[in-house]
């Protein structure tokens, strides 16, 4: 089976050597047997033919002499009869008329001539040709004057060559002899028609295994013998090669087809005296019968022998191929990598030797294979390592910012990293194989070549600055160095170049980044500082506000004092707003959204800006008849307006210019002005615009105007416009900017409109002072605030307990635990904080109302304290109204 794989064919024969041998042998053997049999058959046939031809020729010769002899014998007999007649029958004066008696006597005499028995004999008178005596009575009195034999026999004995008799066309052989008188004068002719049947009877006929037929044929192919003549089958004579050739006067022998269509061997003779052909024939079928029998038996024996031999060959081939097959199977297993298999060695012959050699070979192969496997394994590992290293190196080299190139001694690039191709603007791998001059065109190439030459000449590292780059020309610091093999021979040169331009830019960027970070840190610390200041400032403002409100609440305050107190209260509130704004900058602003009247905010801010700006700037304000409600953080909205108006005024600078301010309901920003929807749209958006006639913005400035820390003003922080943009965007609004250099700038701020809050406000309980009873514990580390609070609460009729910090507050709480109706708790206190105090209070009086007061915003405080129905939040600084309302809510 293993062997079979070696063969390309699939036939059974191709798979089995023994079968192939047997079939080959069989085919060869059968061919040889057939050939030998055929040759022996042919030679036997030829021998038989030769022998038979000789025999037939002999018989033909024999027949010819027999016939000739027979005719001679008849002729002699006729002569004898003629002489016997002469003596007593014929008178010299015999005339035409003979007596019947003498004729009868003659006839009797003729009939008695024993020598001519079975032949018609007639006596013909000369002259006249009349038949005067005949053994055939019908001829008596007829004339034979026309007959050839009659004319011919006048002088001597004559044999007329065979001819068709005029009576019935039958071939006839006539012998005639003169009958002479004493005076040697022919007086009659004695003629006889020979019995040709008898002639044929003397021919050599043979029966037996090879029947031999002999017959006579005349010149016209007509059978002479009475038996064959006139047979319906041969009415036109007999045609065959032998007959034809004999009729032509030839003699010989050969093989041909006889008149019946049978293949025969024949011999033929022409008997010219008689005008007949003698043919002796034997059928080939019978003649070659021995040869055929020989053929059959040799075929039988030969084929049987070949069959037997084939089996033998199969057996021998099997026994020969078995060890070979075993060997082949073993070889197949070896081919599949199984070196343990060994063919069974059973003989000492060549196959056995082969098997032993095979075993040795297998053993050697096995060890060799093992060694090779180990080598392959180690080599593969090494190769993998090398690949990994190479990949790593490649990665590193490719991703470094430096250019790395290796050139051979002919200055052709053999290795280059990605950077090279990128810098030179080439495709991947395109640079490989190029010469340095070709790869780095122009001055760079020349410079590098010079550096390389120098390196090669001095066998040293050379540094050069070159300008490279297909897109952007950079200055590179190139180092060329020789690469040496283990023997120290320089086999290549390396070029490593680093980008000096890129490095310079990176340093600049880092510097700028550092500055930005410093600025941010500065802001951060400023914010923290501001936050700290704002907290304390809030408490101060709380005290100022509280006291002012308390003073105003006093009934008998003179009118001028009341006005002053009112101004103090307003300024205090604005200061509180500023504080909140400062907290927002510091990141601690409470971005509270509330419905605010834009008109009021704008009016306030405008007053502020007018006061601070140059008098050459004219502020034009379009009239605003109705309040414009928007839901924003009022402080932020003020900041936006302040920034826009300040910037507008400052853009005019010291020149004379106009700043226009307008506000009102608006169409949605960037929305098509659709008349049908104008009404609704008006209601849903509020817009205010600030327009100046200043110097305008360049496109560069306009692009960067909202960037943080961008400023065109020397003392500016660069945060104004970015804050504006951020505030409007976080409020759900849109800011639009139009500016033309030399003409002016226009900002439009779109804000979503809000509902009129008056109805809700009215629904709230008015903060009218009312009389209450109960005890309130105020825990605050700010004494001024505690006092304002105490006065305000006492005015409401409440008893007030004070605590300066958390510990004292808890002590007070425990002292008056059952009588307390409310606790006002500052969240930020030194020591125990508000959150901890609240937790303890809740553990002891879970349902005691608590108001948390804090300068931080509510969201930030809510991280520490969960507000609910009994825990409320009060933003510091708070006014009396807010305090009164929240106390009212907490102590119903």
Partner 1 sequence: MRSRRTTIARSLRSTPTRAGVVAGCLLLALAACRPKPEPQLRIGLLGVASSAMSATSGLEAAQRGARLALDELNKGGGVLIGGVRHRVVLIERIADDRPDAAAQGARALINLDLVDVIIGPQLSAHATAAGAVAEASGVPLIAPMATNPAVTAGRRFVFRLSFLDEFQGVLLARFAYDSLRARRAAALYDPASLYSRDIVRIFGQTFGERGGTVVGAELFSREDGLDYRTQLRRIIAGRPDVILLPGFAHPDSIQMRQARALGFRGHFLGPDSWDPVELGPLDAAKGSAIVGNWHWRSARPESRQFIAAFEALHHAPPRTNAAATYDAMKLVALVAARAGSLDGTALARALSNAGTYAGVTATFVFHGTQNPVRGGIITRLLDGSDSTRWIEVSP
- Shortest gap between Cβ of 130 and partner 1 (angstroms)? 7
Q: Which is nearer to partner 1, 131 or 753 (CB)?
A: 131
Write down the residue that tokens 């990605």 correspond to: 418
Q: In this chain, which stretch among 215-223, 373-381, 587-595, 688-696 interacts with partner 1, using CB under 8 A?
A: 215-223
Please identify which residue in 78, 82, 163, 645 interacts with partner 1, judged by CB under 8 A.
163
627, 599 contact by CB (below 8 A): yes
d(CA 244, CA 226) in angstroms, rounded, equals 20
Q: Which is nearer to partner 1, 143 or 619 (CB)?
A: 143
Regarding 167 and contact with partner 1 (CB under 8 A), the answer is yes
Regarding 709 and contact with partner 1 (CB under 8 A), the answer is no
Regarding 290 and contact with partner 1 (CB under 8 A), the answer is no
- Shortest gap between Cβ of 317 and partner 1 (angstroms)? 17
Regarding 12 and contact with partner 1 (CB under 8 A), the answer is yes
160, 186 contact by CB (below 8 A): no
Residue 505, C-beta contacts closer than 8 angstroms, at least 6 positions apart: none
Q: In this chain, which stretch among 4-12, 205-213, 471-479, 751-759 interacts with partner 1, using CB under 8 A?
A: 4-12
Q: Which is nearer to partner 1, 126 or 431 (CB)?
A: 126
* CA dist 350 → 323, 355, 358, 604, 646 (Å): 10, 9, 12, 124, 117
Regarding 456 and contact with partner 1 (CB under 8 A), the answer is no
d(CA 152, CA 124) in angstroms, rounded, equals 13
Q: Which is nearer to partner 1, 200 or 782 (CB)?
A: 200
d(CA 187, CA 178) in angstroms, rounded, equals 7
For residue 887, give both structure tokens.
Answer: 């106390």
Residue 291, C-beta contacts closer than 8 angstroms, at least 6 positions apart: 41, 44, 45, 48
Regarding 8 and contact with partner 1 (CB under 8 A), the answer is no
Regarding 25 and contact with partner 1 (CB under 8 A), the answer is no
Q: Which is nearer to partner 1, 9 or 558 (CB)?
A: 9
Please identify which residue in 4, 5, 11, 307 interacts with partner 1, judged by CB under 8 A.
11
Phi, psi of 14 (to 5 degrees): -70, -20
- Shortest gap between Cβ of 20 and partner 1 (angstroms)? 9
- Shortest gap between Cβ of 33 and partner 1 (angstroms)? 15
Closest CA to 126 of 151, 159, 105: 151
- Shortest gap between Cβ of 259 and partner 1 (angstroms)? 12
Phi, psi of 589 (to 5 degrees): -70, 145
- Give me the 788-807 binding string for partner 1, x by CB under 8 A, dash otherwise: --------------------
- Shortest gap between Cβ of 118 and partner 1 (angstroms)? 22
Q: Which is nearer to partner 1, 183 or 765 (CB)?
A: 183
Q: Which is nearer to partner 1, 164 or 352 (CB)?
A: 164
Regarding 166 and contact with partner 1 (CB under 8 A), the answer is yes
Q: Which is nearer to partner 1, 124 or 801 (CB)?
A: 124
Please identify which residue in 9, 272, 428, 846 interacts with partner 1, judged by CB under 8 A.
9
For helices 834-844 and 806-815, the axis angle rounded to 10 degrees is 20
Q: Which is nearer to partner 1, 148 or 255 (CB)?
A: 148
Regarding 310 and contact with partner 1 (CB under 8 A), the answer is no
Q: Which is nearer to partner 1, 127 or 653 (CB)?
A: 127
Regarding 221 and contact with partner 1 (CB under 8 A), the answer is yes
Cβ-in-10-Å burial (0-12, 13-18, 19+) of 401 comes to: exposed
Regarding 257 and contact with partner 1 (CB under 8 A), the answer is no
Which spans in 136-220 are helix H? 148-152, 196-201
Measured from the Cβ of residue 337, the count of other Cβ atoms closer than 10 Å reads 9
For residue 497, give both structure tokens.
Answer: 């170049």
Regarding 272 and contact with partner 1 (CB under 8 A), the answer is no
Please identify which residue in 105, 164, 332, 469 interacts with partner 1, judged by CB under 8 A.
164
Regarding 737 and contact with partner 1 (CB under 8 A), the answer is no
Regarding 220 and contact with partner 1 (CB under 8 A), the answer is yes
Element (H, E) at 859: helix 858-862
Regarding 625 and contact with partner 1 (CB under 8 A), the answer is no
Q: What angle do CA 330, 336, 337 make, to 5 degrees?
A: 90
# binding residues, partner 1 (CB under 8 A) = 37
Please identify which residue in 107, 134, 160, 828 interacts with partner 1, judged by CB under 8 A.
160
Regarding 27 and contact with partner 1 (CB under 8 A), the answer is yes
User: Which residues, 117 to 156, sit near partner 1 by CB under 8 A?
Assistant: 126-130, 143, 145-148
The residues facing 121 across adjacent strands are: 192
Which spans in 655-782 are helix H? 678-684, 699-704, 720-730, 758-763
Q: Which is nearer to partner 1, 222 or 781 (CB)?
A: 222
C-beta pairs of 48-53 under 8 Å, 24+ apart in sequence: 48/287, 48/288, 48/290, 48/291, 49/255, 49/265, 49/287, 49/288, 52/210, 52/265, 52/282, 52/287, 53/253, 53/254, 53/265, 53/267
- Shortest gap between Cβ of 181 and partner 1 (angstroms)? 16
Measured from the Cβ of residue 188, the count of other Cβ atoms closer than 10 Å reads 28
From first CA to last CA, the distance across the chain in angstroms is 109
Regarding 95 and contact with partner 1 (CB under 8 A), the answer is no
- Give me the 227-246 binding string for partner 1, x by CB under 8 A, dash otherwise: --xx-x--xxx---------
688, 637 contact by CB (below 8 A): no
Regarding 193 and contact with partner 1 (CB under 8 A), the answer is no
- Shortest gap between Cβ of 278 and partner 1 (angstroms)? 18
The residues facing 325 across adjacent strands are: none
Q: In this chain, which stretch among 105-113, 165-173, 188-196, 858-866 interacts with partner 1, using CB under 8 A?
A: 165-173
Q: What angle do CA 463, 468, 469 make, to 5 degrees?
A: 155
d(CA 123, CA 189) in angstroms, rounded, equals 6
Question: Rule CB under 8 A: which residues touch partner 1?
Answer: 9-14, 27, 96, 126-130, 143, 145-148, 160, 163-170, 218, 220-222, 229-230, 232, 235-237
């Amino acid at each position: 089976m293993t062997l079979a794989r070696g063969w390309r064919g699939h036939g059974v024969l191709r798979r089995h050597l023994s079968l192939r041998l047997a079939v080959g042998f069989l085919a060869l053997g059968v061919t040889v047997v057939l050939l030998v049999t055929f040759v022996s058959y042919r030679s036997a046939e030829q021998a038989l033919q030769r022998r038979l031809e000789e025999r037939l020729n002999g018989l033909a010769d024999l027949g010819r002499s027999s016939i000739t002899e027979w005719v001679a014998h008849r002729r002699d007999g006729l002569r004898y009869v003629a002489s016997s007649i002469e003596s007593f029958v014929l008178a010299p004066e015999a005339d035409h008329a003979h007596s019947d008696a003498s004729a009868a006597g003659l006839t009797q005499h003729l009939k008695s001539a024993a020598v001519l028995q079975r032949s018609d004999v007639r006596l013909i008178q000369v002259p006249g040709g009349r038949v005067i005596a005949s053994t055939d009575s019908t001829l008596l009195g007829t004339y034979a004057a026309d007959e050839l034999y009659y004319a011919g026999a006048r002088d001597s004995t004559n044999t007329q060559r065979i001819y068709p008799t005029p009576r019935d066309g039958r071939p006839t052989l006539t012998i005639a002899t003169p009958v002479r008188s004493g005076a040697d004068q022919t007086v009659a002719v004695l003629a006889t028609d020979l019995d040709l049947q008898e002639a044929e009877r003397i021919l050599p006929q043979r029966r037996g295994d090879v029947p031999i037929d002999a017959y006579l044929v005349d010149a016209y192919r007509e059978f002479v013998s009475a038996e064959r003549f006139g047979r319906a089958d041969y009415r036109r004579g007999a045609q065959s090669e032998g007959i034809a050739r004999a009729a032509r006067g030839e003699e010989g022998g050969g093989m041909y087809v006889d008149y019946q269509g049978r293949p025969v061997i024949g011999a033929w003779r022409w008997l010219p005296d008689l005008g007949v052909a003698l043919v002796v024939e034997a059928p080939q079928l019978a003649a070659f019968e021995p040869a055929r029998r020989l053929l059959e038996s040799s075929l039988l024996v030969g084929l049987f022998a070949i069959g037997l031999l084939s089996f033998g060959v199969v057996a021998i081939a099997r026994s020969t191929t078995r060890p070979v097959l075993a060997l082949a199977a073993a070889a197949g297993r070896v081919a599949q990598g199984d070196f343990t298999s060994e063919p069974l060695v059973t003989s000492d012959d060549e196959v056995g030797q082969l098997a032993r050699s095979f075993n040795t070979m297998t053993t050697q192969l096995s060890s060799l294979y093992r060694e090779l496997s180990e080598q392959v394994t180690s080599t593969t590992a090494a190769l993998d390592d090398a690949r990994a290293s190479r990949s790593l190196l490649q990665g590193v080299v490719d991703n470094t910012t430096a250019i790395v190139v290796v050139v051979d001694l002919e200055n052709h690039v053999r290795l280059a990293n990605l950077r090279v191709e990128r810098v030179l603007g080439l495709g991947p791998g395109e640079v490989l194989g190029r010469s340095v001059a070709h790869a780095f065109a122009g001055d760079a190439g020349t410079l590098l070549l010079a550096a390389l030459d120098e390196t090669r000449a001095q066998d040293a590292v050379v540094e050069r600055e070159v300008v490279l780059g297909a897109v952007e020309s950079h200055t590179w610091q190139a180092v060329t160095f020789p690469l040496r093999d283990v023997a120290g021979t320089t086999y290549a040169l390396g070029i490593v170049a680093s980008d000096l331009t890129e490095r310079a830019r990176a340093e600049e960027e880092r510097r700028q980044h550092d500055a930005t970070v410093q600025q941010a840190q500065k802001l951060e610390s400023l914010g923290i500082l501001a936050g700290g200041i704002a907290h304390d400032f809030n408490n101060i403002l709380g005290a100022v506000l509280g006291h002012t409100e308390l003073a105003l609440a006093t009934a008998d305050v003179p009118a001028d004092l009341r006005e002053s107190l009112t101004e103090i209260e307003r300024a205090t509130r604005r200061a509180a707003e500023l504080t909140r704004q400062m907290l927002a900058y510091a990141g601690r602003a409470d971005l509270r959204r509330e419905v605010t009247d834009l008109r009021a905010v704008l009016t306030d801010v405008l007053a502020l800006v007018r006061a601070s700006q140059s008098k050459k700037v004219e502020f034009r304000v379009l009239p605003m008849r109705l309040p414009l409600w928007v839901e924003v953080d009022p402080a932020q909205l003020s900041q936006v307006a302040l920034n826009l108006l300040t910037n507008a005024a400052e853009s005019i600078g010291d020149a004379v210019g106009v700043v226009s301010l307008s506000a009102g309901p608006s169409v949605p920003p960037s929305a098509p002005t659709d008349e049908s929807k104008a009404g609704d749209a008006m209601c849903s958006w509020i817009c205010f615009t600030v327009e100046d006639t200043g110097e305008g913005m360049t496109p560069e400035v306009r692009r960067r105007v909202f960037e943080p820390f961008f400023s065109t003003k020397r003392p500016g922080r660069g945060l104004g416009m970015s804050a504006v943009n951020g505030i409007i965007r976080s409020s759900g609004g849109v800011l639009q900017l139009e500016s033309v250099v030399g003409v002016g700038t226009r900002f439009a701020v779109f804000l979503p409109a809000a509902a009129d809050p008056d109805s809700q406000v009215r629904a709230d309980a008015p903060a009218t002072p009312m009389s209450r009873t109960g005890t309130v514990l105020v825990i605050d580390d700010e004494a001024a605030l505690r006092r304002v609070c105490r006065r305000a609460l006492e005015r409401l009729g409440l008893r007030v307990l004070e605590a300066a910090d958390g510990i004292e507050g808890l002590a007070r709480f425990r002292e008056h635990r059952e009588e307390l109706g409310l606790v006002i708790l500052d969240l930020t206190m030194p020591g125990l904080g508000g959150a901890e105090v609240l937790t303890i209070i809740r553990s002891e009086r879970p349902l005691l109302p608590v108001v948390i007061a804090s300068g931080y915003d509510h969201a930030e405080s809510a991280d520490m304290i969960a507000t609910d129905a009994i825990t409320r939040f009060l933003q510091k600084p708070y006014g009396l109204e807010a305090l009164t309302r929240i106390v009212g809510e907490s102590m119903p």
